[in-house]
Structure formats: C-alpha cells, structure tokens
Amino acid sequence: MYKPLVWTGSLVLVVLALFLLVEINYVSNTAATTNTVSFSGEGKITAKPDIAVISASIVTQAVDSKSAQDSNSTKSNTVSAFLKKQGVDDKDIKTSGYNVTPQYRYPPYGGQPTITGYQVSQSYEIKVRDLAKISTILDGLVTAGANQVNNLGLQIENPEDLKSQARQLAIDDAKKKASELEKQVGISLGKIINFVEGSNGYPVPMYSETRAMGMGGGGSEPAISTGENDIVINVTITYQIK
C-alpha cells in the first residue's frame, strides 16, 4: 500500500536533485562568463615590399577567330621574350585568362545581329622580384604588345613571419593593459578564457593604367615609389576576475 507512495517520493527527490544540479551548474557557468574583463591590443610591423605583381592583357581583333588568335600569339611571344630579357623567370609569368569573343553589329531597327569579327584577350599575372625594374617593365610591356596594363600591387611575398611578430606585439600590448588595470583598480585576474584575433592585412600601393588598343609606349617611364607596408594585428584577450 505504501510502495506507490515511496516510489513517488523517491522520484520527486531524484527530479529535485537533478534540478538543483542543473541550477548550480547554470549559476557557476553564469558567474564564470559574467565576471570577466577584456583587453584589446595592437601590434604593427612596417616593412618594405619585396615583390611587384603586374596584371596585363593583350587584346587583339580580326575579322575571323584564327587571325585574331594568331595576332595575339605573336604579341604574346614578344611580351614573353621582353620579360625574360628583363630577368623575369618563367615561373613568374602566368596566363590568368584567355577569351575569344565575337564582335556583333546590331541593326538600327531590330533584327538579328551579325558577327563582324572576333576579339581575343589574353591576361597575365607577372611577378617582378627586382623592384628597380618596375618602371622599365611597365613601359616595355606596352611597347611589346600588352595594350592593357591594368594594375600593379606592391606586396610582401611571405608575410607570415612579420604577422607573427605583429601578433606578439599585440598580445604584449593587451597583457600590459591587463597588468596596469590590476594595479589601478585592485582586482586579481585569473586565467584567460577567450582570445580573438583580427588583421587588417597591409595596404598595397596600386598603379593603374589602361592603354587604348593599338597604342604603344613612347612616353616617359612611370615613376613608381615602393614605400612601406604596415602589417597590423589586433587581439582581444578575456580574463576571469578572481
């Protein structure tokens, strides 16, 4: 007769015990996450770029596709020969795009367009490791047949070591702020419970120029200043307050 009551009472006690454990754990976790303080830090390393990346294109037009491609190939060989003469390795000359596009004439009052010719565009990504030759190469590319020089990026080829140095500076900066606050406010900081890193990379100076089709060089070489690049790392460190 009393067994159902005993079982019911036992079940109630188990449920209450589980509820208390969950509540205690919730309070503990809440305390661990609310009794915290965060510090931000910034680290910056300044370095000179050691590589230039040039984007250039050869654009040719002809009445048929084969003639346009043959003309493009001839100019491409001339451009490659010029780059090799300037000391640019084969591994640093990459074809980044190749397009054959029909050219249309549209009737003034509707109707079907007719193909009037073809345009071939071959794009390159060129890495220049001797920065003293940037101006000569930019001007010579156009003379050799690259009638579109789209942009130039001055970069640091392997920035990971510099990023690591900037990260350490950022961490030291954040920890210094934490130590100062402990002394100023009189709190005691515990373990680190969170770490967030952000990077704005580094600014890349850009040179931009577009030559009309058929136009060559002939002007003075463009003046390029390499300057310096900043690698910036930002961190946020969160501590428990004891």
Question: Cβ(41)–Cβ(199) under 8 Å?
Answer: no
Which residue in 189, 186, 220, 148 sits closest to 39, CA to CA? 189
Residue 10 burial (CB count, 10 A): 10
Beta bridge partners of 140: none
Mean pLDDT of the chain: 83
What is the CATH number that goes with domain 49-157+205-224?
3.30.70.2970
Helix (H, G, I), strand (E, B) or coil at 49: coil
Question: Cβ(153)–Cβ(229) under 8 Å?
Answer: no
Q: What is the pLDDT of residues 6-26, one digit of tens each?
A: 455 555 454 454 444 444 444
Beta bridge partners of 38: 238
Q: What is the pLDDT of residues 187-237, one digit of tens each?
A: 899 999 999 998 765 444 433 333 333 334 445 666 777 788 899 999 999
Quick one: CA dihedral 208, 54, 124, 82, positive or negative? positive
Report phi then psi at 222, rounded to 5.
Answer: -70, 140
d(CA 154, CA 52) in angstroms, rounded, equals 5
Residue 225: per-residue pLDDT: 77
Q: What is the pLDDT of residues 105-129, one digit of tens each?
A: 998 887 889 999 999 999 999 999 9
Helix (H, G, I), strand (E, B) or coil at 223: coil
Side chain identity, residue 26: Y
Residue 119 burial (CB count, 10 A): 17
